[in-house]
Amino acid sequence: MASRTPNSELRTPNSNRLVAALLRWFAANARDLPWRRTRDPYAVWVSEIMLQQTQVKTVIPFWERWLRELPTVESAASAHTDKIHKLWEGLGYYTRVRNLQKAAQVVVEKHGGKFPENFDEVLALPGIGRYTAGAICSIAFNQPTPILDGNVIRVLTRIFGIAENPKGKETNAKLWKLAEELVVHASRITHYAAKSRTRTKDENDFCSHLNQSLMELGALVCTPRNPQCLLCPVKKLCVAFGENRVEALPNLGKRAAATARHFIAFVVEQEGKFLVRQRPAGIVNAHLWEFPNADCTAARPRAEEMFRDMFKIEPVDVQWLCTVKHSITRYRLTLEAFTVAAQKIRAKTAGVWKTPAQMEPLAFTSAHRKVLRAVAARPAPGKQRALLPGTSR
Ligand code: SF4
C-alpha cells in the first residue's frame, strides 16, 4: 500500500474535511450525558474532575448526586469535609475532591463566586491542569482551548499516523499543537459551518463540539482495542487506517509490570461497636475510614502474628471473613479481612469504636466498604455465609 504523509498542516483541504466530519458525526452521535445538558462551568468542571480515571457510566450517578447536594460553587466551598468525601466515596483518587473544594473556595474568595472565564485563571485553580482548563473553557465558554488526554492522544496519533511515543516531550508538544490547530480551525469555520449540515442544536458551539467529538470518538469508536474503523467518520482521512497501522498506535512503549500488594485487616467487635480509624492527612486516601490493617506484602505473616504485632496483645478467635481484590493504577491489591473477638484494645491509639449506624455516613475506601458489607452479611450462627460481589473465599 502506498504510504501517505501524515497531514499535520491543518490548513490543507483535508483539515477542513476532518473538522467538518468530526462535527457532523458528533452532532448526530453524541451521547445524551447529563452534564451535556448544561453550560454551567461549575457543573462542567465537576464532571471533568470526576471523569479523570473514571468511566462515564460510573460517574453519572455520582455527578447527579453531587449537583443535587452541592448545586453551586458556594455550597461546594463551604461543605463539611466529611460530606465531600462521602459524596466521592467509591470514585477513588480522593485528592481530586479535596482539590475541587480548595478550588471552589478560591472561586468564592477571589472571583466572588463566579467561575472565571479566562483560561489562565482557570488553570491557576487547585487541581486543574491544562487538559481540564481546556475542557472547561471550550465546553462551558466555547473558547478555542485544546484538550489532550488518553482518548484524544489515541485518536490524534492514529489520524495523523504519529509513530513516536506520545509521552515523549517533543511528541507530546506536537500533539498539543495539533489539538490546538483543530479547535482553532473549528472556531474559524463557524460562519460557514452554520450553513452546512454541521449545524447542531447548540448553534455555534463548534469549539465545544470539536473537543467533545475527539473525546467521544476515542470513547466510542477509536477505542484502545478493536476500534470500529469501518464505522468511523474520519476513516478516509486517517493515516493509521490507510496504512494498516491502527493496532500499532499509539506507541506507548512497554507498560510497567503490575505490582501485587497484600494487606490484612481486622474487624474487632465489642458490644455492637467496631474498631475503625480515619486515615491521616498527607497519605493516599487521606480522611477516609478503614478497619485497622497493615501491608504484609514482604513478610506475609499469619493473621495472628500480624494482630499481635499491631496491637501488642494476644488475639482471640481469629476467623477469616472475606478477601477483597482491587486494582488501582499499576497496583493489584489483595485485602484479607479477619474477625477477632473483643480485646482490651486501647482505642485511642488504634482507632475509635462505632456502631454500623454511625459508620454508614462515613466515607470508607472501596475495599473497606466491601469488608463492611461482608460484616453486615454475616450469617446467623450455624448458617453458611453467602459471598458478596467483590469478595472471595
Ligand atoms: Fe481510529 Fe480507525 Fe477512525 Fe482511524 S479510522 S480514527 S484508527 S477508528
Q: Are 182 and 210 in contact (CB under 8 A)?
A: yes
Pocket test for ligand 1, best of 4, 19, 160, 229 (most atoms within 8 A of CB): 229
- Residue 188 alpha carbon to ligand 1 centre in Å: 25
Find the helix or strand (DSSP H, E) in which 327 lies: strand 319-328
Q: What is the whole-number distance in angstroms between the Cα of residue 162 and the centre of ligand 1?
A: 13
* Beta-bridge partner residues of 334: 262, 325
CB of 154 sitting under 6 A from ligand 1:
no
CA-to-CA distance for 157 and 94, rounded, in angstroms?
Answer: 31
| 3-state DSSP assignment of residue 210 | helix
pTM score, whole prediction:
0.84
Helical H segments across 149-238, by residue range: 150-159, 169-188, 190-193, 206-220
pLDDT at 227: 97
Q: What is the pLDDT of residue 124?
A: 98
Which pLDDT score is estimated for 311?
A: 87
Q: Which residues are catalytic?
A: 48
CA angle 199, 136, 153 (to 5 degrees): 80
Q: What is residue 282's predicted lDDT score, i.e. its pLDDT? A: 86
Index of the ligand 1 atom closest to the CA of residue 154: 1
**Which pLDDT value is given to residue 329?**
80
Longest dimension (CA), the chain: 79
Long-range contacts of 8-13 (CB under 8 A, 24+ apart): 8/160, 8/174, 8/178, 10/178, 10/181, 10/182, 10/185
Nearest CA-CA partner of 239 in 47, 7, 1: 7
- Whole-number pLDDT of residue 385: 45
Distance from C-alpha of 155 to C-alpha of 186, rounded to nearest angstrom = 17
> What's the pLDDT score for residue 335?
96
Round to whole Å and give the CA distance between 20 and 79: 43
Could you state, in chain order, the average pLDDT of each consecutive group of 10 residues for the chain (393 residues)? 41 72 95 96 98 95 98 98 96 95 98 98 98 98 97 97 96 97 87 43 81 97 97 96 96 88 94 92 91 91 90 90 90 94 71 92 94 85 46 46
Ligand 1 within 6 A of CB of 322? no
Beta strand 331-340 with 259-270: parallel, antiparallel or unpaired? parallel
Ligand 1 pocket residue status of 235, Cβ below 6 Å = yes
Name the one residue in this structure whose C-alpha cell is 494476644.
314
User: Percentages helix, strand, coil for the chain, rounded to the nearest 5?
Assistant: 45, 15, 40
